[in-house]
Amino acid sequence: MNNNPLVFIIVLNYNGLKDTIECIKSLEQISYKNYKVIVVDNASTDGSEEVLTGKFPDVIFIKTKENLGYAGGNNIGIKHAMDNNADYICIINNDVVVEQSFLEPIISKMESDKTIGIAGSKVCEYSDRTKIQSTGSILHLSRGNVYQINTGAYSSQVTEDLEVDYISGSCLVARRKLLENVGLIPEVYFLFYEENEWCLRAWRAGYKVKCICNSEIYHKGSSTIDKISGIKEYYMIRNNIIFVKRNAPWLTYKLFISRRMLRMAYNSMIGVLKGKINKNAIKAFIDGMKYKKGYEGIYKRIG
């Protein structure tokens, strides 16, 4: 067992300067000693580079030439960490504030149990830190969605570690060996479903995915993506279809897509009757069926 593994913490930023500053300040206070912070800036236009490099000279700052999305941006940081002898990679959303001791329990558990490939913290609400946002999720591949565990419960009531199918990308830790075995975060999605597939790959490679419940972080929730109408809906619908197509057995996918087509037809009919057709949802459905990957048109400017 390595008593002092090197952890690289990756924070992805896209025009989220205020949140990113608060996130990094919380990371500067953590009790774990052997760590480095990487900020990957997804081509921000809000002056993030000048402010962050000035405020945090010890942080490794990497700026991309274009917005690469969640997976593409984090993979830039992961590659840098792997090239610099990282034992573990910790990915944290920029709208997260961490508990001072959040990292030790995760690293301790992963060091003592080498079958854990990915682990995460108990995610609590930023606005009410007594309430749980997520302790991981159970994946229903036939429907392509996840059931979040303990959402809305009091944090004090959930203390036992949980083996789950999926850990929220707001805070997850991956061991180096896992990355060497299953690869980087899949970049076909641009936004949403990347962590679902990554965790599924880990599970299929024989690793456990766990929530370590004596580790806590506080998550504000989506901010940048909610500022542009239709962005979340588009990627959730499109990538739901792509995810099932890539990961489910052929018959499961056919049954899934049949149900989705019926639902889309019903919703469109209701839209016609109300005089308001959801063209964004229809486009997302068609693009998913066409397996249109990555970003799409105006949606590239989101991170």
Among 242, 224, 244, which Cα is nearest to 232's? 224
Instruction: State the sign of the Cα–Cα–Cα–Cα dihedral 94, 100, 102, 104.
Output: positive
Residues counted in the chain = 303
Pick the CATH number of 7-222 from 3.40.50.300, 3.40.50.2300, 3.90.550.60, 2.60.40.10: 3.90.550.60
Q: Report domain extents, the chain.
A: 7-222, 226-301
N- to C-terminal Cα distance for the chain?
A: 37
Q: Are strands 208-219 and 132-134 parallel, antiparallel or unpaired?
A: unpaired
Cβ-count burial of 250 within 10 angstroms (0-12 exposed, 13-18 middle, 19+ buried)?
exposed
Q: pTM of the predicted model, to two decimals?
A: 0.92
Distance, CA of 140 to chain centre: 18
Question: pLDDT tens digits, the chain, 303 residues: what are they?
Answer: 677 999 999 999 999 999 999 999 999 999 999 999 999 999 999 999 999 999 999 999 999 999 999 999 999 999 999 999 999 999 999 999 999 999 999 999 999 999 999 999 999 999 999 999 999 999 998 888 889 999 999 999 999 999 999 999 999 999 999 999 999 999 999 889 999 999 999 999 999 999 999 999 999 975 555 555 588 899 999 999 999 999 999 999 999 999 999 999 998 899 888 888 899 999 999 999 999 988 764 444 433
Rounded distance between C-alpha atoms, residue 258 and residue 236, angstroms: 18
Instruction: State the sign of the Cα–Cα–Cα–Cα dihedral 277, 281, 284, 288.
Output: negative
